[in-house]
Amino acid sequence: MGPIITDFKEMFKRGEIHIRLIVINVAIFVLTTFLEVVMNLFNGSLASFFEWLALPASLTRFLHQPWALFTYMFMHAGFMHILFNMLWLYWFGMLFLQVFSSKHLRGVYLLGGVCGGLLYMVAYNVFPYFQPAVGYSTLVGASAGVLAVVAAVAYREPNYSIRLFLLGTVRLKYLALFVVLTDLLMISGSNAGGHIAHLGGALAGLCFAAGLARGVDVTVWINGLIDGLVALFERIFRPKPKMKVKYGRGGARQQDYDYNAHKKTQSEAVDRILEKLKKSGYNSLSTEEKKQLFDASKR
């Protein structure tokens, strides 16, 4: 297990931002799935914990867990759910980095998730069709953030061609249009919340790419928020440096006093040895006295 964790750490440190986002999502999924298995063995459940991190449709519940607007985009309902989200994030993350920066990708992913979550809550509380489900509905998944990345790339490079299995070569603008139309047509289906969030994420990606073309970066605030939080955590958890003793003026005077006193003692000892040497000769000196005299002659 140790080498695997080490590999994940190295992948996170050396990987591009889309790889880091994938590692975070996968790590959270593996950890929560493992904990759920353990809880099931003891006839328990992590359902309440998942709900604590999922985004509720109810505005009242949201006010009690506002962090869910960010945490929900790193939670997934199953293996196939996270698999397809991470594959899209990997493919389109690489394309995104060819035309935008790593910091932009981080900002677009988070901004897409936030906009998708907000549109989801607004839709469920505005349209009567969703009223019966507001009290118990929740949203999880990275789809809104991923669709924001897809939409941004499609806006910037609409005629870029990619090869799809069974479909052949397709231009990005048609792929993005197909995804958006699919979400619109399935907005009243069984996964209505997910499709609404997709639309919010795609809209965020379009706003980013269109704004950046005019010199306006809509990800500045969210990137600034993340940078501030990272700096705060580094300041709190960074190992404290070893204490270094610095002497002020008083300390310097004390050092000078000690040094001068030591030199005076040495000088007096040497004077006594020289007096003894003059009176009784070199052979009268002890081994220690001879050593002191030799050391004094070297200074």
Q: How far apart are CA 123 and CA 281, in angstroms?
A: 108
- Token readout for 236 is 């709190």
Residues 197-223: b if buried by 16+ CB within 10 A, e if exposed: bbbbbbbbbbbbbeebeeeeebbeebb
- Token readout for 165 is 């299995």
| pLDDT for the residue numbered 46 | 84
Segment among 2-6, 87-91, 98-102, 284-288 with least mean pLDDT: 2-6
Task: Measure CA of the first residue to CA of the last residue in the chain; give whole Å.
Answer: 62
Range(s) of the chain covered by CATH 1.20.1540.10: 2-237
| pLDDT for the residue numbered 260 | 64
Q: Please write the tens of the pLDDT for every residue from 162-181.
A: 887 777 888 999 999 999 99
Q: Please write the tens of the pLDDT for every residue from 177-224.
A: 999 999 999 998 888 999 999 999 999 999 999 999 999 999 999 999
Q: Please write the tens of the pLDDT for every residue from 95-120.
A: 999 999 999 999 999 999 999 999 99
Q: Which range in 199-208, 229-238, 258-267 is most confidently predicted, on average pLDDT?
A: 199-208
User: Average pLDDT over the chain, rounded to whole?
Assistant: 85
| pLDDT for the residue numbered 6 | 67
| pLDDT for the residue numbered 20 | 94
Q: Is a pLDDT exceeding 60 seen at residue 298?
A: no
Confidence of residue 15 (pLDDT cuts 50, 70, 90): low
2-237: what fold? Answer: Rhomboid-like fold (1.20.1540)
Confidence of residue 138 (pLDDT cuts 50, 70, 90): very high
